[in-house]
Structure 1
Amino acid sequence: MNWQSITFDWNQARAFLVTAEEGTLSAAARALGLTQPTLSRQVAALEQALGVTLFERVAKSLVLTEAGLELVEHVRTMGDAASRVSLSASGQSQQIEGLVTISATDLMAAHVLPDILAELRQKAPGVEIRLLCTNSLSDLRRREADIAVRHVQPDHPDLYARKIREAPARIFGARSFVEGHGRKLTRADAPTLDFIGFDNNEELVVYLRAFGLDVSEANIRLSSPNGVVAWELVRQGFGLSIMADEIAARFPGIVPAFEDVDPITFPIWLVTHRELHTSRRIRTVFDHLAEGLLRVRPERRAR
């Protein structure tokens, strides 16, 4: 079929594309912020307009038919073109007002960014900030966010990144947990201790071993993909976990867990799309975040 000779509604095409990428109607509806019946109607309307079946249901998933496989590449190309147009238009805007979406981890959004954003409201009161709290990497090229605070360096040429600094992190616990053993803890105690997991327990074990701790996933008896919840479990004495010094320093009841384990550092990167970096609005927020994140330092703490 010659897809290029057929015109159809872009909302229907986008519904089809996201459904193809997500694999289920429920996941696609969440990604687009639509109800599942609305999304289903849009996909069905596209199938009716084209006169083809685009999906087959296999178990609980949707699988593209041959016609769907052929169409999805055309629609993806259309989506990429639409994103480039949107990025170019946003990049030309010189007004310091409007929405800017910042992607950051939930812990950074809750405990580090508020002070920085309070100053931004004074500097640029016309800017509206939306915080996208996620521990995964947002796709800036698809405008999931305008600016991202990341801990890994991006490798795509369309992205502009600035390394802000290296931030120290160590293993912390509630004072009641750490001092409840009647003596100072050392790394030799690690195999017998409980740890609190965040998003990926297997990955956390790798980080803990980088501190020189002999632990396994069996040591992680409680976890939550929500960083704020996981940190609250640490605060309430359920176990130990890794945390940036600048966040842990905000909680008086939290202390470093081990006297013989040195901190490690992790990078803080600020990332945006190269075209968005020419927008005065985006540039203002980007530069303000960079300045604010550079100033953040943990307070000195006594054991």
Structure 2
Amino acid sequence: MLCQISKPSVSKMEHVDWDDLRILVAIARGGTMRAAATACDLSAPTLSRRLTELERKLGEPLVDRVPSGCTMTAFGARVLAWAEQMEDLAHKIERAADVNGGAAAHGTVRINAVEWPSYILLKLLGSFQDRLPGLAIEVLTSRRPYSLARREADIALWSECPEEGDLYVRRIGRIRFGLFGSRDYYLRHKAAIAKKEWDKLSFVGYDDRQPDHPAMQWLKTLPGAPAPSLRSSYGMGVFDGVLGGSGLGVLAQLAGDTTSDLVCVEKHIKALDQDVWMVLHPALRDSERIRTVANLIAEIFR
């Protein structure tokens, strides 16, 4: 009697591209298709099509699309956890390659910095350009800390010491602040400034969404000083307003000292001193590319 031996079945599941799984991670982190598309540098329709194709390959929905955003399905949450593990392994491989890539410092170094450290870097890095042959610098200015673990940046300059995470942290300096006015404004109000008749002067400050900003709290200590007549949501807006002659404003000392068009009327407001913390992923400390730039940054803020 002849027996027919059946061949083992072959899975018909199609190959899943890692780049498509990255889309799922971006959707989970961004919360919306539009935010994920921006993070992935894709158009929203393209991202939506790729997600639909990924769901077709896996045979189950991964994301519930609702008007308020996107949420993971139960299956999507499981796939997301695996995708994040894959992402973490990929970053570990990249960091290992960075450290073992040879002695020469070359490539791009991305520095995430809060506003004033970012301004100071951009202002002073040019004078050190001859010490960075083969290196390109990207300065990513943001109030939101970028993730070093996910390689959103290589080096971070924060105003507060991070309390969590496996990170190498070093305080490299301190930014001092003063009260500045444009030279023209100073000459027009020289007498009132000399007598500290703050009620006769105008000020530039931060908008109403930041009432607890240290600079705004300090301005309130000036007897009779009116609320700022020109407000901005960010420090460089204050800088531009002061430079444009709209009144007195609190600026980083170094920023104010870099132009002769500004006059400092109150030097070193000690209450506003801001520490600068340099943060690295520990796996990159031995990278010549990172070490070269990190040492230079420490020198700038020393």
TM-score tier after normalising by the smaller chain length: 0.7 to 0.9
Q: Partner residue of 1:196? A: 205
| Counterparts of 2:272 and 2:56, CA distance in 1 | 57
Distance 1:28 1:186 in 2: 55
Q: Give structure 2 stretches of 5+ with no counterpart.
A: 1-12
The aligned residue for residue 61 of structure 1 is 69
Partners of 2:180 and 2:145 in 1: CA distance: 25
Q: 1:27 deviation in Å?
A: 1.2
> Which aligned pairs between 1:127-138 and structure 2 lie closer than 5 A?
127-138=135-146
Q: 2:107 aligns with which of 98, 102, 111?
A: 98
Residues 61 and 258 of structure 1, relative CA distance in 2, 3 Å threshold:
same
State the partner residue of 1:291: 299
Partner of 1:249: 257
The alpha-carbon deviation at position 79 of structure 1 amounts to: 1.7
- Distance in 1 separating the partners of 2:150 and 2:299: 26
1:73 maps to which residue? Answer: 81
Residues 139 and 185 of structure 1: is their aligned pair in 2 closer, same or farther, counting only changes over 3 Å? farther
Indicate the residue corresponding to 2:124 in structure 1.
115
1:238 to 246, 252, 258: 246
Letter in 2 for 1:51: G
Look up the match of 2:91. 83
Using the alignment, how far apart are the partners of 2:30 and 2:269 within structure 1?
Answer: 42
Residue of 275, 278, 281 corresponding to 1:273: 281
Supply the distance in 1 between the matched residues of 2:226 and 2:67 (Cα, whole angstroms). 32
SS at match of 1:155: coil
Letter paired with 1:98:
G
CA distance in 1, matches of 2:158, 2:127: 21
Query: CA 1:114 to 1:249, structure 2 compared with 1: closer, same or farther past 3 Å?
Result: closer
Cα separation, 2, equivalents of 1:75 and 1:199: 41
Q: TM-score, normalised by structure 1?
A: 0.80
Mark the runs of 5 or more structure 1 residues left unpaired by the alignment.
Answer: 295-303
Q: In structure 2, how many angstroms separate the alpha carbons of the residues matched to 1:99 and 1:259?
A: 37
Could you tell me how far apart the structure 1 residues matched to 2:208 and 2:154 are?
24
Deviations along 1:18-72, one digit per CA (max 9) or x if unpaired, are 1111011211122222222222222111111112222223224222233323332
> Are 2:43 and 1:35 aligned?
yes
CA deviation profile, 1:143-197 (whole Å, cap 9, x unmatched): 1111122211123452112211222112333344456455127888479854332
Written as runs of structure 1 = structure 2, the 5 A alignment for 1:196-215 is 196-197=205-206, 201-204=210-213, 206-210=214-218, 213=221
- Specify the alignment match of 1:299 in structure 2: none
Distance apart, 1:106 and its partner CA = 5.0
Q: Percent identity?
A: 28
Deviation at 1:248, TM superposition (A): 0.9
- Cα distance, 1:262–1:79 mapped onto 2, change above 3 Å: closer
Instruction: Report the number of matched residues.
Output: 287
Q: 1:76 to 1:260 in 2, by over 3 A?
A: closer
Distance 2:200 2:216 in 1: 11
CA distance in 2, matches of 1:187, 1:70: 64
Scaled by the length of structure 2, what TM-score is found?
0.80
Q: Please say which of residues 14-23 and 208-217 is displaced more in the overlay.
A: 208-217
The separation in 2 between residues aligned to 1:89 and 1:170, in whole angstroms, is: 44
Pair 1:124-2:132 in alignment: yes
The structure that has the greater radius of gyration is 2
CA distance, structure 1, for counterparts of residue 121 and residue 208 of structure 2: 20
Name the SS of the counterpart of 1:269 in structure 2.
Answer: strand
Moved more, 230-239 or 243-252: 230-239
